[in-house]
Amino acid sequence: MKEIIISQNEAGQRVNKFLLKYLNKAPSSFVYKMIRKKNIKLNNKKIEGNEYVYIGDTIQIYMSDETIANFREDVSDTHSTSSKKKIPVEIIYLDENILIADKPTGVLSQKASKDDYSFNEALIDYLLDSGHITTEELRTYRPSVCNRLDRNTSGLILCGVSLTGSQELSRIIREHLLHKYYYTLVRGRLTQKLDSTCYLQKENAKNIVRISDHPWEQGKSEEIHSIFYPVKKNDDYTLVKVELITGKSHQIRAQLKHLGYPVVGDTNYGIPEVNRYFADAYHVKHQLLHCGNIIFKETDGPLSYLGGKEYSAFLPEPFRTIEKDLFR
């Protein structure tokens, strides 16, 4: 018999979901059969499978160690600490529930394919190396990025360290209980605050989006809302602070192009001549777009202690040098 004590990283989920992660090579039909036959119990009591588990609960599995081992995949097979491609992780904030880090440009937030090593894997490696999680805990819960940034967008990224943290961060983002501010450099002189609501339509075949002031007559369109604040400006360029109200893919870049202020370095929506100048002068390879500030609104629940707190990440290079050179 195997007895499992539920930890903080595992609490808050249904027992059937926990078991399918723990016995990750077992078919779901087998797990439910073991529940029906009372070979799996919760706190020594018969279960249906839809009960929730909490910290300190115990699950009893009445199987031999050999049988259990046969139905469990080695964590090393599903997560590699990948010394060959470690990504440096700059931690802004960390507690037992959440992690806030500064993602560099050129790094995927999450895997696009099985062999990718994304920022999510880098965060898991950091948590393992620093002792905040164990390989055993990875069998039933994997810390996960909750707000994706495009590969070539840098800045603040949120990760659930515990299951509770992941669930609550997802709720906070979904219910817009978070102020997110980005910084970008645009071509053009923006002189005043610009509060813009537009409509976005995806062109999946080209991996771009289109923007209109009105809903598109054909195809699905989504309403988007951003507020743009000029921070510094000269005759040709403006450093813009963006408050993201909705959060759609390519929203900031495409919306700024639509408004007449294309982002510097943006190969999809920018001006080729401008991009070439900054590539030659500053080795800019990607759009200059950085998530620089996050402010949590007041909220209830396990992460209520974050209410009113602000977290920031400095502009990366070469963005920082360009800002100094343009706005002396």
Label residue 201 by pLDDT band (50, 70, 90): very high
Asked whether residue 78 carries a pLDDT value surpassing 60, the answer given is no
- Give the closest residue to 209 by CA, choosing from 148, 260, 257, 154: 257
CATH code for residues 78-173? 3.30.2350.10
Percent of the chain topping pLDDT 70:
96
Res 82: pLDDT: 47
Asked whether residue 36 carries a pLDDT value surpassing 80, the answer given is yes
The lowest-confidence range among 131-145, 154-168, 257-271 is 131-145
Label residue 139 by pLDDT band (50, 70, 90): confident
Render 223-237 in DSSP notation, one character per residue: EEEEEEEEEEE-SSE
- Evaluate whether 240 touches 186 at the Cβ level (below 8 Å): yes
Q: How far apart are CA 86 and CA 57, in angstroms?
A: 36
Asked whether residue 111 carries a pLDDT value surpassing 90, the answer given is no
Label residue 137 by pLDDT band (50, 70, 90): confident
The lowest-confidence range among 93-102, 104-113, 181-190 is 104-113
- Give the closest residue to 102 by CA, choosing from 159, 174, 165: 159
- Evaluate whether 313 touches 291 at the Cβ level (below 8 Å): yes
Label residue 85 by pLDDT band (50, 70, 90): low
- Evaluate whether 242 touches 288 at the Cβ level (below 8 Å): no
- Residue 127 tokens read as 């948590």
pTM (2 decimals)? Answer: 0.84
Q: Which fold has domain 179-326?
A: Pseudouridine synthase (3.30.2350)
Residue pLDDT, tens place only, 297-316: 999 999 999 999 999 999 99
Find all residues with CB under 8 Å of 123, minimum gap 6, and list them: 89, 99, 101, 143, 145, 159
Would the CATH topology of 2-73 be identical to that of 179-326? no
List the beta bridge partners of residue 240. 184, 230
The total number of residues written for the chain in this structure: 328
| 3 state DSSP class of 196 | strand
Res 74: pLDDT: 62
- In the chain, what are the domain boundaries? 2-73, 78-173, 179-326
Helix (H) or strand (E) holding 100: strand 98-103
- Give the closest residue to 256 by CA, choosing from 278, 276, 237, 284: 237
Res 217: pLDDT: 78
Q: How far apart are CA 287 and CA 194, in angstroms?
A: 21
Instruction: Please tell me what DSSP assigns to residue 298.
Output: P
Q: How far apart are CA 308 and CA 299, in angstroms?
A: 9
Asked whether residue 181 carries a pLDDT value surpassing 60, the answer given is yes
Q: How far apart are CA 167 and CA 302, in angstroms?
A: 10
CATH code for residues 2-73? 3.10.290.10
Res 249: pLDDT: 87
- Read off the pLDDT of each residue in 26-44 and give the average, rounded to a whole number: 94
- Evaluate whether 142 touches 133 at the Cβ level (below 8 Å): no
